Amino acid sequence: MTGELSPIDKAKYVAAKRSVDFIEDGMRVGLGTGSTAAWMVRCLGELVREDGLKIKGVPTSTRTAELAREVGIEVISLDEAKWLDVTIDGADEFDANLNLIKGGGGALLQEKIVATASDQMIVIADIGKEVEHLGAFPLPVEVIPFGWQTTKSLIEELLINMDVLGRDATLRMNGDRPFVTDEGNYIVDLHLARIGQPHRLSMALNQMPGVVENGLFLDICDVVILGFGDGRVETRDINDGSIAKDRIDFVESENLFADLDD
């Protein structure tokens, strides 16, 4: 229930709630992964069940697909959709140009494929995700398991010539085993502190054998919707430079908040 939510969860909820206002009947919608995106999927499901909204969702992970089906959203593959009207997803951090770091939840590959196959990408986040320079959040790099230690060493060597403050690279773990993505790959997290030239870094990483994709989402996001713990919402559109401010009242909804697993 909203009365039991922490300020950070309230911020995520109001951002998610505002984002579904962009969705119209007949749209093909990319459904992001993560705690904030889960609020969005729940809000969309409520519109499907209670208002008769007709959409088709393309999830970016198996757990998002499970949640979408659970709340009543029709789920299709990207191959079936071919192209999307909009993708709504969260972010681990973003800068003033709406460049992002994503992949904290391990779904960066599918998230980037879905986002770039959309007419518009909307990011929902709490105000704590805004940074002056990308890099405070570890940058995820998805690598194939074969030769991952060699790939990790090559990445560390690459970072010597990059405009970053830190160069530590760690294999993401799930207990005592490597974390495995939906595509069967590993993730190496780069602890860079600050990324001075994200475009250069992204291009260099993706040219390396063994690297599948990285978590820098550059020139992809169109709109960021920021939520605040007191119900305020700020919508920033990078294309027209507009900033809209609003407030969302919390409404208790058993259907929306029951059994939400962030």
Of the residues 93, 111, 142, 213, only one is catalytic, namely 111
Q: How wide is the angle at C-alpha 236 spanned by C-alphas 191 and 92, nearest 5°?
A: 20
**Known catalytic membership, residue 111:** yes
Strand order in the sheet with 121-126: 74-75, 56-59, 28-31, 86-89, 121-126, 223-227, 232-237, 243-247
Contacts (Cβ under 8 Å, ≥6 apart) of 216: 99, 100, 101, 134, 139, 195, 198, 201, 202
Radius of gyration of the chain (CA): 18
List residues with catalytic annotation.
111
